[in-house]
Amino acid sequence: MTVTIKVNGVEHRVEEGLSLLEALRRLGYYVPSLCYDDRLSPQGSCRLCVVEVNGRLTTSCTTKVQDGMEVRTDSEQVNQVRRDVLRLLAMNYPRDAYAKYPFKEFHVALSKYGVELQGTSRPDLIDNSHPYIVVDMNRCIKCFRCVKACDEVQGYHVWRAWGRGGRIMIRPDGPDLAHSSCVSCGLCVDACPTGALEDRSVLTYGWPDTWVKTTCPYCGVGCELEVGVKDGRIVDVRPSRTSVVNRGNLCVKGRYAWDYVYSQDRVLRPLIKVDGEWREVSWDEAISFVASRLKEILAKYGPGSVGVLVGARVTNEEEYLAGKFARVVLGTNNVDSCARVCHEPSAQGLEDMLGTGGATNTFEDIDLARTIMVVGSNTTENHPVIGNRIKMLAEQGRVKLIVVDPRRTEIAEYADYHLALRPGTDVVLFNAMANVIVSEGLIDEEFVSERVEGLEEFKEVVSNYTPEFAEKVTGVRADVIREAARLYATNKPSMIFWGLGATEHVQGTEIIYQLIDLALITGNVGRPGSGLMPLRGKNNVQGTAIMGDHPKKLPGAVPLTQNIEMFEKLWGTKLNPSPGLDGIEMVEAAMRDDLKALIVFGEDVLMSHPYMEMTEKALSKLELLVLVDMFHNETSKYAHVFLPAASSFEKEGTFTNAERRVQRVRKVIEPLGESLPDWQIIIRLANAMGYGDYFRYSSPEDVWNEIRSAWPAVYGITYGRLEREGGLPYPTPRLDAPPVKVLHVGQFTVGKKTRLRPVAYIPSPEQPTEEYPLTLITGRTLYHFNMGSMTRRTGNQVIEPEDFIEVSEGDAKALGISDGDVVRVTSRWGSTLIRARVSRRVSKGVVFATVHHPEALINRVVSPAVDRISHIPEYKVTAVRVEKAS
Ligand code: SF4
Ligand code: SF4
Ligand code: FES
């Protein structure tokens, strides 16, 4: 709907419901503002956006457009008010501030209205404590945008107004910003119109000359970044204001943790290990060395002896090429991705039951859900932009929140029901929730009769799991299980989000079946605001799952046994039809001397796999281990060749985020040193192996177009369309049609009906014993990402310099452990030293350790037990003992 307004005598039609300020800006009129930010609720306090409406002065940011409005944006009366506002603010504003940053919103307005600055700077108002943000309160004009940004979007309430009237001061909730509750998202900096809050990088390197939009290299949210470049160097990152994914917001990783690109220890030339020492070589030498070793090994042991592992750091196009390289050049299906150690159960579970191994809905549906259940996801730390969105909806009472997690995470503090189950008892808990839904008649009968099969068998299995039985096993009170189940089933639409706390179990895939079962019996699939959302870990795990880096699946998740002919035709060669080994099996095969060569793109196998002692032995037996990466890592100790890869800021391509959205990765700077994008490295290797004709691509777009021709779900997504429309979720099968955002509407990908998969509980092999009385969970923190190879090389390392283990107050007291003590953690599999945090986040009997630093390397301790369906290791349950280190 539109309305007609007249502006400075000219008639315009504008969208109904817009603020007058937004409408005027969209029409191209200059209206200055200070307290307004389109990400925040309007305040109407600075009065700079004043305009005349039907002859009366009004603040345009707080006025909605109305039909027939007559508006003047530049009358003398308007200009006089604006000048008065600016003069008042300029009285105490430092004179020298303008010259440095003429483009800041406040400074642009000063210049436009010819207002001179009067004030001087006081050094005591400058706070230099924070690694990323410089606070200069000399330049604060009390617009409160920082306060509102932190309050309304992030929910951390760091900035507070102290004092009254003209003596009001904005200060953080600690002695300085570094010692406040700030989580370094940078939103307040982005909102500040003067530079009172400024990025240290900009102050160090200067304001960017150009901005390039790209996608965050960290988590599966896939936030869009604006990357600022000056003289060919990255100097700043800001959130994209137009992104539907992150809506002008970022977390500390996307916003600030980009400096690893320039880390002194980045590998910038190819290396070959000679007599235990790395020697720099030319690309030609490195590539021909790898090719000749691969040829020898293939000739001697056959294609089953080689494997390829692909981390989700790389683009879709590179993942596709890595899989194609394994199959076409090496003749093996021994190809897998890091999804094996994070979300393979999610892809497998969703595919088995619904037919598409991805989220059923998009992030946009968060606003439509009435109940959200978060399972095994420390969302505000691991997927912060989405976590904070859910948290704020819960805080504002706009959504009911159930959190299933043994830890009292930040998001659990906002939950209506926190189901703090004993680690490893998820199956019992979800069966008990299903038991309540069945026994209390809360099943969506209509949905189930139309679209679901196997209800009777399902009812029979869950009938054994009463809430009272579940209370005994899980430790969650029966009445809480009942109430949470009722809420999920009745306060619809309900969405389920999950993280690795759901998948990294010996019944990981079955737990996902259970979540899908719950959604099916309550009719929470195929509807806006409902559905199933695996919060994928790395930026492009969703891509790896679907680009063919899988021992049993070709690109598009086509089973090897199905449509192999199509790929034989497309790639012009016969393919090996025997399923290959997955990542876990490849390590086992190396241990047995069956795997001889491994190429790893962007993954630290040694640090990320469980039971490190075995992984170490396995890797040391390989005859050829090739790493393609930016930095040496723990796996490098056993590698023979290191090929330096470009970062995602140095190449073109696409990533696919957790909501199936394909987004562009754009080249921001030239690759540093001699590093190359992985796609070019794969092509060079293919050429050297004599398969160049199969890899004739001149750009990532060429590769993407081949993917489009192989996989109908992305046929409608072209680079041109991504440029024009922004990221598009798949399936988008047609060029002239929008993407399908809600999957399984009316029918599932597997057909009209799907079958429930009831799951019986099998206790984890890692039960506490007298010798190992505690249960260890491992996971991530806000400041570091997975094995930390990128974040450890940024200012995040200053904020959080080492791994830690959380120990409950009760256990700490019993064990004589104080906060900050170094403790020894020992399991049946290994032992390590790590610093203790005495914490209320974990219950008695449970400890939680982070996984980011090689010094602690908690995977020395983690059990090698794996899920029998997907082979994901059970990182979330290991029986351990913890002792104060002497
Ligand atoms: S950086 Fe983020 S968390 Fe910190 S004060 Fe600013 S808005 Fe709040
Ligand atoms: S939430 Fe994820 S994608 Fe967004 S900025 Fe943070 S790490 Fe990057
Ligand atoms: S921008 Fe409208 S009153 Fe401040």
Closest ligand relative to 131 C-alpha: 1
Pocket test for ligand 1, best of 176, 180, 184, 388 (most atoms within 8 A of CB): 184
Q: How far does Cα 828 stand from its chain's mean position?
A: 33
Q: How far apart are CA 48 and CA 112, in angstroms?
A: 12
Question: Cα of 141 to ligand 3 centre, how many Å?
Answer: 13
Band (101; pLDDT cuts 50, 70, 90): confident
What are the strands, taking DSSP E only, across 730-786? Answer: 754-755, 774-779
Q: Give yes or no for residue 154 CB within 6 A of ligand 1.
A: yes
In the chain, what are the domain boundaries? 2-90, 121-262, 271-341+540-729, 344-534, 774-884
Nearest protein CA to atom 2 of ligand 2, as residue: 219
Six-digit token string for 220: 């599966």
Nearest protein CA to atom 4 of ligand 2, as residue: 223
Gyration radius (Cα) of the chain, Å: 28
For 422-473, what is each residue's pLDDT tens digit?
999 999 999 999 999 999 999 999 999 999 999 999 999 999 999 999 999 9
| Residue 88: predicted pLDDT | 94
| Residue 462: predicted pLDDT | 98
Q: How far apart are CA 535 and CA 496, in angstroms?
A: 10
| CB distance 525 to 477 below 8 Å | no
Question: pLDDT > 70: what percent of the chain?
Answer: 100
Question: Cα of 397 to ligand 3 centre, how many Å?
Answer: 27
Q: Which residues pair with 587 in a beta bridge?
A: none
Sole residue written with tokens 């596709």: 320
Q: How far apart are CA 531 and CA 802, in angstroms?
A: 37
Tell me the HSE value of 586 on the side-chain side, using a 13 A CA sphere: 34
Say if residue 153's pLDDT is above 90. yes
C-beta atoms surrounding 396 within 10 Å: 10
Nearest protein CA to atom 3 of ligand 3, as residue: 44
Pocket test for ligand 1, best of 182, 190, 199 (most atoms within 8 A of CB): 182
Q: Across all residues in the chain, what is the average pLDDT?
A: 96
Beta pairing, strands 306-310 & 597-601: parallel
Question: Cα of 766 to ligand 2 centre, how many Å?
Answer: 33
Q: Read off the DSSP letter of residue 325.
A: I
For 172-208, what is each residue's pLDDT tens digit?
999 999 999 999 999 999 999 999 999 999 999 999 9
Question: Cα of 792 to ligand 1 centre, how many Å?
Answer: 21
Q: How far is CA 542 from CA 216, 388, 548, 643, 713, in A?
A: 14, 22, 11, 25, 14
| Residue 421: predicted pLDDT | 98
Helices (H) and strands (E) in the chain, counts: 30, 38
| Residue 543: predicted pLDDT | 86
- Burial class of residue 416, CB neighbours in 10 A (0-12, 13-18, 19+): middle
Peptide bond into 579 cis (omega under 30): no
Query: From the alpha carbon of 33, which atom of ligand 3 is closest?
Result: 1
Pocket test for ligand 1, best of 40, 130, 137, 150 (most atoms within 8 A of CB): 150
| Residue 470: predicted pLDDT | 98
C-beta atoms surrounding 713 within 10 Å: 22
Six-digit token string for 305: 């002896």
Question: Cα of 185 to ligand 1 centre, how many Å?
Answer: 5
Question: Cα of 465 to ligand 2 centre, how many Å?
Answer: 38
Query: From the alpha carbon of 133, which atom of ligand 1 is closest?
Result: 1
Sole residue written with tokens 């706390």: 501
Question: Cα of 142 to ligand 3 centre, how many Å?
Answer: 12
Q: How far is CA 364 from CA 178, 538, 723, in A?
A: 33, 20, 20
Q: How many residues does the chain have?
A: 886
Q: How far apart are CA 503 and CA 511, in angstroms?
A: 7
For 820-839, what is each residue's pLDDT tens digit?
999 999 999 999 999 999 99
| Residue 100: predicted pLDDT | 76
Residue range 592-601: average pLDDT?
98
C-beta atoms surrounding 453 within 10 Å: 13
Range 2-90 classified under CATH 3.10.20.740: yes
For 32-66, what is each residue's pLDDT tens digit?
999 999 999 999 999 999 999 999 999 999 999 99
Closest ligand relative to 791 C-alpha: 2
Considering the four listed CATH numbers 3.40.228.10, 3.40.50.300, 3.10.20.30, 3.40.50.720, the one that applies to the domain covering 344-534 is 3.40.228.10
Residue range 137-160: average pLDDT?
95
| Residue 544: predicted pLDDT | 83
| CB distance 34 to 40 below 8 Å | no
Question: pLDDT > 90: what percent of the chain?
Answer: 95
Band (210; pLDDT cuts 50, 70, 90): very high
Question: Cα of 215 to ligand 2 centre, how many Å?
Answer: 9
Nearest protein CA to atom 5 of ligand 2, as residue: 254
For 375-419, what is each residue's pLDDT tens digit?
999 999 999 999 999 999 999 999 999 999 999 999 999 999 999
| CB distance 153 to 39 below 8 Å | yes
Q: How far apart are CA 254 and CA 451, in angstroms?
A: 41
Q: How far apart are CA 629 and CA 613, in angstroms?
A: 23
| Residue 736: predicted pLDDT | 95
CATH of domain 121-262: 3.30.70.20
| Residue 103: predicted pLDDT | 87
Nearest protein CA to atom 8 of ligand 2, as residue: 254
Query: From the alpha carbon of 21, which atom of ligand 3 is closest?
Result: 2
Query: From the alpha carbon of 32, which atom of ligand 3 is closest?
Result: 1
| CB distance 26 to 75 below 8 Å | no
Say if residue 563's pLDDT is above 80. yes
Pocket test for ligand 2, best of 187, 213, 223, 363 (most atoms within 8 A of CB): 223
Considering the four listed CATH numbers 2.40.50.100, 2.40.40.20, 1.10.10.10, 2.60.40.1120, the one that applies to the domain covering 774-884 is 2.40.40.20
Sole residue written with tokens 């600075």: 46
Pocket test for ligand 2, best of 183, 221, 379 (most atoms within 8 A of CB): 221
Closest ligand relative to 46 C-alpha: 3
For 280-322, what is each residue's pLDDT tens digit?
999 999 999 999 999 999 999 999 999 999 998 899 999 999 9
Query: From the alpha carbon of 185, which atom of ligand 1 is closest?
Result: 2
Is residue 67 classed as helix, strand or coil in its secondary structure?
coil
Q: How far apart are CA 421 and CA 405, in angstroms?
A: 6
Residue range 775-783: average pLDDT?
97
Say if residue 97's pLDDT is above 90. no
Closest ligand relative to 243 C-alpha: 2
| CB distance 500 to 342 below 8 Å | yes
Residue range 92-103: average pLDDT?
84
Contact partners, residue 788, CB within 8 Å, separation at least 6: 852, 853
| Residue 162: predicted pLDDT | 86
Tell me the HSE value of 563 on the side-chain side, using a 13 A CA sphere: 14
Is residue 880 classed as helix, strand or coil in its secondary structure?
strand
Is residue 789 classed as helix, strand or coil in its secondary structure?
coil
Say if residue 665's pLDDT is above 80. yes
For 484-537, what is each residue's pLDDT tens digit?
999 999 999 999 999 999 999 999 999 999 999 999 999 999 999 999 999 998
Pocket test for ligand 1, best of 132, 140, 185, 246 (most atoms within 8 A of CB): 185
Nearest protein CA to atom 4 of ligand 1, as residue: 182
Say if residue 144's pLDDT is above 90. yes
CATH of domain 271-341+540-729: 3.40.50.740
For the chain, the maximum distance between any two Cα atoms, rounded to a whole number of angstroms, is: 89
Three-class secondary structure assignment of 357-414: CCCCCCHHHHHHCCEEEEECCCHHHHCHHHHHHHHHHHHCCCCEEEEECCCCCCHHHH
Q: Give phi and psi for 552, each to the nearest 5.
A: -120, 5
Cβ < 6 A, ligand 2 pocket: 216, 218-219, 221-223, 246, 250-251, 253-254, 383-385
User: Which among 862, 804, 756 is positioned nearest to 506, based on CA atoms?
Assistant: 862
